Structure 1
């Protein structure tokens, strides 16, 4: 991270957080712990916390054609869908309608990170949850994490626009999405904004020769992992899965069990995950051309496959913040990265706008905590930031080392682990760290409180787990249905203490 000149400090009184997913909740907790802000407001467009960990069955949304190709990172706001909610047991004629926002969560999803490494620093997982938790378990875990800050969340509220005012504050325009026929809009002003809405909303589907003609001829045959829910969608079909990162490997292994054999896996480079070879799966290079005749696809090696029923792109997402379209300079152009940021977090021209957990190939929950610890201390004035020209220089230097495209925010191990510890050290260097301060409570009486929340710090054990988690995941998956009974690393053959003893002789 290098030296961090503390030239600018900020006097923030009110903070808006966009999103009540894991990173938004972490930001709120670290802001609350500063005891420095008169108002912290979280806007969440759903009716519950959890962000993308809210599962939405495909049938709730009805049929939807995917834009093919999908190349525009600056499309409009996430559109709510409406469906009946009979959870309250009311008669049909009084049945309420509830908003649903699509998430990329699929029915059989289990985390690809072991719970020992994945969780928040101050909340244990349930003892009976499996080593790689199911998505239902993760949502319950996040809901427990949110318990003490639920009063800060305004649900069913979608952010439409965030713009800078003449006095360098942030005007936030929101819309009520609690009922289909109500579109109440309001504007409120804050000193600072944390953009924690995630980056798994706008699918990326690359443009391939003949793709549009194919999609027109065979509607619905080309899709994206965001719309995948169960392998039954592909039962008996000849399928190509494009992409072999976490979602591609996992979804491919599921589809492989029900599609016409073999499944065709198309990718350009080896996966960081450990994948099991199978006679029911054939690796192919990227698709070079769609040929409408005979439902054919030509790959970059010149081979052609005919009678292809479905192609599922597991090719990731654009960075997209439609409510920040007025920013100049912008944070999104191509959508391959977020621009004009310092340390992947602070908007250089006006650092009271912050973006946690943009990085990829990382462990998001602890990273969200570490970044939130820095954000909270900067907003409270206990940490300073460099001048804008120094921030720009950091971005240019990072770009030279990591590239200007999709790799810009990628932190492959050990860079991600090092970054967490660097953020920790940055946060705890703040003025008055760990000191008690007097703070008036709501009744007006004084109280002494400890200022600041300690961020996570990774030691040898966390590095050990992080380096091995792809192999740990493979060992877990290889156990088949028995994996659901595995709770610990030792249950799948990995023991840190045993390893440490061997290493130290």
Structure 2
């Protein structure tokens, strides 16, 4: 995710081109209904970050066809969205700084509302987007520019590649494409004996898929907690929720749910599973892994040094953004446990100013030192890009301060015969945003506890959270 309004506000670039493999804006917020099992085959286990580009799924277009002709097929790409998904972030914290949510939108918006919100935000940049175009390869030229090879998506038959050269590239395709399903002893034999019984949250759509089945959900981050709560309403009780650590969200106790440690072994006899504490469960019908994704950029395989090895993190970056050897390559919103839209704004503000030449970067050795220091402090592997509160809030404010320190910030600049202010100011989180960010798991639980009544809730005070009252108590 990148916020192009910050690039446009620089008034410094002769051309900005966006490539989008889908036919619409919204990225992973585009819902793709449940497909046949063959359309989402996944290796069991799935431990390869180099599994390749997104697979196209062909479905009939909803567009009205010419009279007497069949409707054309169009390519879609599976996203992790499921039918009943609602955000786990309240809208007041989640949105872009210069676009309000509709007044009738519930406090934790449904995925349909989020897509509409993004589409509204993207209206001003739609003319820059080349839809139905998949990036096949990005590589350096001899003069240190970037050659981008693309393919047209719409047709089943292979298309001829197109090539264009750019001074800088922003990789903003997210990191929810290649599922991670860890290796567990006996898993492959189990999957062969009971095809389709092990799956990943990327392919979950409705709890009806698990009606009257004995189910294990593995993972207790956002998707695991939410999907588990849905499945336990229709599966054979109790739902077994397997996890290796405490969730950052509120994992409410329930008579229809049993918390279990990680799965240690699969035993095909009696469809059994052994957990790390030695306990056993037999006659298990389905196991759903909500264990996240690999970082994967198959179109960057030619980079040396690489950005992807194990896929647990993106390597050789400075401040989670810039490719150290050639910082004209940038990666916004790689971080996890964060609030994506404000972070996208803050990182986009820095990227825009660096690419326009108004902000400088350290020498490569200094950028490598930052990466080494961050690894020592925060850990390598899957923890590298994790910014648990208050790290994420502090990072947003650091990016704000960094961006507004740019040369010529806010001064007049000529643009197309007019005089404009250069640069767009990203969000800065004050006390209220910190207060809301710290409490949003508890806010989400209070919202969920209202059941169907939650759909009429619009504000924090309606679920018992009032910033002004809290501030007054603090002062007293």
- Distance in 1 (CA, whole Å) between partners of 2:227 and 2:84 is 9
RMSD, aligned α-carbons? 1.1
Task: Check the 8 A contact 1:434/1:452 in 2, yes or no.
Answer: yes
- Distance in 2 (CA, whole Å) between partners of 1:317 and 1:164 is 27
Question: How far is the alpha carbon of 1:404 from its aligned partner?
Answer: 1.2
Pair 1:99 & 2:75 matched: yes
Q: Secondary structure at the match of 2:264?
A: strand
Task: Check the 8 A contact 2:49/2:295 in 1, yes or no.
Answer: yes
Aligned 1:151-190 pairs, distance under 5 A: 151-181=127-157, 183-190=159-166
Task: Check the 8 A contact 2:201/2:288 in 1, yes or no.
Answer: yes
Pair 1:310 & 2:286 matched: yes
- Distance in 2 (CA, whole Å) between partners of 1:137 and 1:126 is 9
Q: Secondary structure at the match of 2:410?
A: coil
Task: Check the 8 A contact 2:308/2:315 in 1, yes or no.
Answer: yes
Aligned 1:90-489 pairs, distance under 5 A: 90=66, 93-181=69-157, 183-440=159-416, 446-489=417-460
Q: Secondary structure at the match of 2:116?
A: helix
Structure 1 residues without counterparts, runs of 5 or longer: 1-22, 441-445
Question: How far is the alpha carbon of 1:121 from its aligned partner?
Answer: 0.4
Task: Check the 8 A contact 2:207/2:234 in 1, yes or no.
Answer: yes
Task: Check the 8 A contact 2:7/2:352 in 1, yes or no.
Answer: yes
Task: Check the 8 A contact 2:63/2:71 in 1, yes or no.
Answer: no
Give the alignment's TM-score, normalised by structure 1: 0.93
Question: How far is the alpha carbon of 1:62 from its aligned partner?
Answer: 5.5
Give the alignment's TM-score, normalised by structure 2: 0.99
Match of 1:68 among 44, 55, 58: 44
Task: Check the 8 A contact 1:61/1:81 in 2, yes or no.
Answer: no
- Distance in 2 (CA, whole Å) between partners of 1:332 and 1:97 is 34
Task: Check the 8 A contact 1:439/1:448 in 2, yes or no.
Answer: yes
Structure 2 residues without counterparts, runs of 5 or longer: none
Structure 1 residues 91 and 245: CA distance shift in structure 2, 3 A: farther
Question: How far is the alpha carbon of 1:438 from its aligned partner?
Answer: 1.2
Structure 1 residues 125 and 60: CA distance shift in structure 2, 3 A: farther
Structure 1 residues 293 and 172: CA distance shift in structure 2, 3 A: same
Q: Secondary structure at the match of 2:199?
A: strand
Which residue of 2 is the match for residue 81 of structure 1?
Answer: 57
Q: Secondary structure at the match of 1:427?
A: helix
Task: Check the 8 A contact 1:242/1:267 in 2, yes or no.
Answer: yes
- Distance in 1 (CA, whole Å) between partners of 2:249 and 2:103 is 26
Q: Secondary structure at the match of 2:445?
A: helix
Deviations 1:136-186 (A, max 9, x none): 000000000000110000000000000000000000000000222351310
Q: Secondary structure at the match of 1:283?
A: strand
- Distance in 1 (CA, whole Å) between partners of 2:280 and 2:20 is 47
Structure 1 residues 201 and 282: CA distance shift in structure 2, 3 A: same
